[in-house]
Amino acid sequence: MIIKNITIENFQSYFAPQTIEFSSGLNLIIGNGGKGKSKLFNAFYWVLFGQIYITELGWHNTNGFPHNVKFQMKRHEFINRKALYETPVDDEVRTVVHLEIENDKGIIYEIERSVSAKRLKNNDWLADDAWIVSNSMLKVTYDSHTGTKIQTDLLAEDTIKDLFPEGIRNYIWFQGESLDSLINFRDKNTLKEAVKHISYFPLYQKAADIIIKSTEQIKKLENTELNKKNKSNSEITALLAKQASLSYDIEAEEKNRDSIEIRIRMVELAMTEDEGKVSGLANFTKLVSDFEKCESDRKEVMHQLTILDDYQRNQVPNLWILRGISSMIEDCANIIKQHTDIQDTVPEKKYLDNPGRHKLEEILKDEKCFVCGTEVLEGSDAHKWIVTRLKEQELYLQEMEDYTSNLEFSKQFERFIGSIQDYPNSLQISLSSIDKQYTDSENSIEKHQAQKRKILEKKKKLDEDIEEVKKKHGVNPVQQVNEGEKFTNNIRASRSILEKEQRKLASSLELIKNKKDDLKKVEKDLEKSGRKTGSTTVAETEWKNISIFLEDICKRVKENARKDLLKKIEERANQFYQKFTEHDNGYKGEVKINDDYSIDFDSGLNMSHEDRKKMSIINAMLSLNQEALNTYYPFISDAPTSSFDFVTTHNYLLGIKDIFGQSIIMTKDIDTESDIYVDLINQPKVSKIYMLESNLYCEEGSTPQLHEVSTHIKQLK
């Protein structure tokens, strides 16, 4: 079977009709996060099964939205937002996905699912009550020998079920996120389930079931016929009655035995789970103590940062005020200094003596010097000098008078200055001190931030380790550190139940054995009686004997086929695993599958290797199944390789293209600029390559709203 094309219109991120053509071989869809890979995967699943995948919630039918209080996806939310946005009030928008499939006989199936939504409101167009959304309508069209068939609803669903049986879906429509639930090294039931769904073994199981059930039925038929034939022979009828009664008892006891065995398996499973958890908790005490230390360090750093932050919040206003007035403080200090200088200066005693004022006035009056008799006429240099000296003396005397008269005020001012002159300095000291404290707090914050970064880095690593423990042992060592005792008690209780159930099983097996011995004895007695009377053989006897003979054979063939299949899966998974890991130089281990469906867990490997092993097993099973049943399904996978690097992804794709008749892989782990990409596109069986990009309907540079982005499909090969 191959998928020929898909047309998506107004579904999730796909606006307007867009078609992707597929061929046999590898079809690759490349796209970074958010470009529409998962939406394309959803489109495939929705058109066939009416469901979309929601992270951490799994597959959900879109007719049932919203499912519960926790999960509030609105009914119109899977319809493209641009299409919704552009629909006028009272008008309808239609979402359609159309798929064309060709089965192995060459019959083309056209499968189409659609919904329509009517807009009720102009404003608040994303509100619950803004839309009336119809249930999805399914239509399947194909040509049969009686002409073209068009099916809808349940008939159409039945056709899809025939095309893609329910059990196989999760393995061929592969979601990377669900890998653990498909193959889990801790849970052997996952491989058992996989064998049930994607292998030929169920046919062997079915053959054994048919013959076991038919033999029981034939025995009853034979008994009825023999009773009829021997109505008058009391010895034989008594033996036949005993035979019927014993057969009935054996059948009932076998049912009882089966239910005991189921209970034992369940208890064993629970016990293995609890033992794994206990061993997980015991083995990771250091991890837990490291985590707790890291968490306490983180809390302490956060506490310190909060204190520092509070301190800064309190100090910032003070600092702002002080910084704002610091220039004024400086001005004040200068003013005080200036006034201090002024009040300290007593006018200098100048030019009062030798000659004194009186003598100088006498010279001017007499116009000659009283010492030497030299003439001092007006306009002469001597006259000018005396006038200047007299002015200076006058000025000094005035200053002195002022000084003397202001002395009291000056003393008061001095006292005032004396009382305030230290204030600016004190304020400056406070300012510097607060400034220093603030700078210290800044440094401290930086130091704590560095510590925080270190701790968070360490925590991230520890979180990853814890995640790994959770995956490997099914236990969260940090959250469940105190539950060790609870698990130990569970194990103790399980052991006690197990012992009880095993005793019941032993006694049931003993009872069955005894009844079967009795039955054999009765059958021998019947044979003897038959030899005597010739009436203990009917046509059914031969059917019964052949069936009993074959039942025994088929049980052995079934068990051999089961073991042989597990060996083949192991062998082929190792071939794939070798291919996926051929570029790794370190320890890679190997896939080891045991007869009881358990898969050896290798603690020396990292998650990427584990995932590669799991995918190798799934691929091995699918390829073996294809070969055995000659039925080819397309393998469709969304993000199958999230834990792989580019080279591993490349090897994975090379493997995939050879295993499946058609594969459609959606991935982000391809670098279209790299050499390995060039190698990939030139490989045979690499049919089509598409790139998913974004169409933006807003102005360049602005952040688009969700209704302004849609997926654009670009064909690269």
Partner 1 sequence: MAIQDEMYKLIEIEINETLKNGKEKRTVDIQKAKDVARMLASLSTDKSEAENLINQYIANIKNICNV
Identify the bridge partners of residue 141 per DSSP, sorted by sequence position. Answer: 110, 150
Reading phi first (left if > 0) and then psi (alpha if -120 to 50, else beta), residue 2 is in beta
Q: Which of 403, 409, 416, 549 binds partner 1 (CB under 8 A)?
A: 549
Q: Which of 5, 19, 560, 606 binds partner 1 (CB under 8 A)?
A: 560
CA distance 127 to 440: 52
Q: Is 548 in the site for partner 1 (CB under 8 A)?
A: yes
Q: Which of 137, 557, 647, 676 binds partner 1 (CB under 8 A)?
A: 557
Reading phi first (left if > 0) and then psi (alpha if -120 to 50, else beta), residue 12 is in left
Contact string 182-221 vs partner 1 (x = CB under 8 A): ------------------x--xx-xx-xxx-xx--xx--x
Burial 212-233 (b: 16+ CB within 10 A, else e): eeebbebbbebbebbeebbeeb
- Cβ proximity to partner 1: between 422 and 559 the closer is 559
Name which of 316, 385, 314 is nearest 351 in CA terms. 385
> Is 344 in contact with 411 (CB distance < 8 Å)?
no
- Cβ proximity to partner 1: between 544 and 650 the closer is 544
Give, in order, the Cα–Cα distances in Å from 710 to each of 8, 78, 133.
Answer: 12, 13, 21
Interface of this chain with partner 1, residues 403 to 462, rule: CB under 8 A: none
Q: Which of 8, 246, 336, 554 binds partner 1 (CB under 8 A)?
A: 554
Tokens of 565: 């299949």
Shortest gap between Cβ of 211 and partner 1 (angstroms)? Answer: 6
Q: Is 556 in the site for partner 1 (CB under 8 A)?
A: yes
CA distance 669 to 4: 25
Q: Is 158 in the site for partner 1 (CB under 8 A)?
A: no
CA distance 60 to 136: 13
Q: Is 153 in the site for partner 1 (CB under 8 A)?
A: no
Shortest gap between Cβ of 521 and partner 1 (angstroms)? Answer: 16
CA distance 321 to 588: 67
Shortest gap between Cβ of 161 and partner 1 (angstroms)? Answer: 11
- Cβ proximity to partner 1: between 111 and 218 the closer is 218
The single residue listed with the structure tokens 């698990």 is 487
Q: Is 630 in the site for partner 1 (CB under 8 A)?
A: yes
Interface of this chain with partner 1, residues 516 to 545, rule: CB under 8 A: 539, 542-543, 545
The four Cα atoms 435, 437, 439, 440 give a dihedral, to 10 degrees, of: 160
Shortest gap between Cβ of 235 and partner 1 (angstroms)? Answer: 23
- Cβ proximity to partner 1: between 300 and 527 the closer is 527
Residues 6+ apart with CB under 8 A from 455: 294, 297, 298, 301
Shortest gap between Cβ of 206 and partner 1 (angstroms)? Answer: 5
> Is 577 in contact with 613 (CB distance < 8 Å)?
yes
Q: Which of 16, 546, 681, 706 binds partner 1 (CB under 8 A)?
A: 546
Q: Is 628 in the site for partner 1 (CB under 8 A)?
A: yes
- Cβ proximity to partner 1: between 267 and 565 the closer is 565
Give, in order, the Cα–Cα distances in Å from 282 to each of 184, 188, 484, 491.
Answer: 21, 22, 8, 15
> Is 35 in contact with 663 (CB distance < 8 Å)?
no
Interface of this chain with partner 1, residues 363 to 392, rule: CB under 8 A: none
DSSP symbol at 644: -
Q: Is 271 in the site for partner 1 (CB under 8 A)?
A: no
Q: Is 626 in the site for partner 1 (CB under 8 A)?
A: no
Angle between helices 423-473 and 607-629 (to 10 degrees): 30
- Cβ proximity to partner 1: between 166 and 700 the closer is 166
Shortest gap between Cβ of 221 and partner 1 (angstroms)? Answer: 7
Contact string 583-622 vs partner 1 (x = CB under 8 A): ----------------------------------------
Shortest gap between Cβ of 202 and partner 1 (angstroms)? Answer: 9
Shortest gap between Cβ of 195 and partner 1 (angstroms)? Answer: 15
Contact residues toward partner 1 (CB under 8 A) are: 200, 203-204, 206-207, 209-211, 213-214, 217-218, 221, 539, 542-543, 545-550, 552-554, 556-557, 560-561, 628-630
